[in-house]
Structure 1
Amino acid sequence: MIRVNQEALKPLASKYVWWKTPEDAVSMPERVIAQVMNIGDYMDVQTLATQVGDDVLREVLTHAEAGQFNERSWAYWHYRLGLSGVDRVPDLPVRRFE
């Protein structure tokens, strides 16, 4: 469970998790954070990084679910957070049906 200031995430939640109320969205902060990391504009990404810090961003990325990140964002955040080197980005998470 990620611990962040949910109140501070509400403006980002209302913009990036538009299908839920901000109150509902911030009850799962890792989803809001992943959504901003994936499709956020430059200023919102900078705001998020300042609010939650790199450790939380790493936590969200390393526990991402299938479909939360596109390839470009996946690669960017792995490089940005020091989780992989050039040409060593792990594969995107995939859904498995058993």
Structure 2
Amino acid sequence: MEDGRALRRMSIPTRRSRSADFHNFSERRRRDKINEKLKALQELLPNCTKVHTDKVSMLDEAIDYLKSLQLQLQEQRGVVGSSSGHNGGWIPERNSSYNFME
């Protein structure tokens, strides 16, 4: 008889287990969104088409690519190596959107 009561207690969802379930669901959804955005980023990177590229390597590729784009932009604007310094060492602000197709 003692086993029957223990089984009933375990089958009743508690506030704690519902909270844990919600947390697990929220965390899974957050990870899915992150993975979705990482995949979108990977698709924008040249030479980063490996299906199973680990996240750190892919982010390293993204950083290198963005740095090369910044350097190209600086060179196109005549900033690199110029003494005029009209925008010396320009780097776009984080979280700002720029149209690189000017």
Give the TM-score normalised by the residue count of structure 2.
0.28
Structure of greater relative contact order (alpha carbons < 8 Å, 6+ residues apart): 1
Give the TM-score normalised by the residue count of structure 1.
0.29
Larger radius of gyration: 2
